[in-house]
């Protein structure tokens, strides 16, 4: 399994977009991410690899959150 499978989903690219994204498109991308998470967690038998995949995804979400807050001029914690 590639370690960045989840971070290459459409949701991550939409979150990184500088322009606003319609809610329907964001919701659709979120459902796709959840489906991919289900697929990965059900098919992976090596829990170390699964933990790394999910942890990497969490880190990427945090990085995007920091970037968005920075762009909005808010304090990053």
In the predicted model, residues of the chain with pLDDT beneath 50 are 1-2
Query: What is the reported pLDDT for 1?
Result: 42
Q: What is the pLDDT of residue 28?
A: 94
CA–CA distance, 61 with 58 (Å, rounded to integer) = 5
Q: What is the pLDDT of residue 76?
A: 56
Q: Give the pLDDT score at 29.
A: 93
- Give the residue extent of every domain in the chain: 10-15+23-75
Residues 6+ apart with CB under 8 A from 35: none
Predicted local distance difference test score (pLDDT) of residue 24: 93
pLDDT of res. 12: 85
């Amino acid at each position: 399994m590639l370690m960045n499978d989840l971070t290459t989903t459409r949701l991550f690219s939409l979150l990184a977009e500088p322009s606003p994204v319609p809610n329907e498109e964001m919701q659709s991308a979120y459902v796709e991410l959840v489906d991919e998470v289900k697929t990965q967690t059900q098919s992976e038998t090596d829990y170390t690899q699964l933990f790394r995949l999910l942890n990497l995804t969490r880190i990427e979400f945090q990085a995007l959150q920091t970037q968005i807050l920075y762009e909005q001029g808010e304090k990053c914690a």
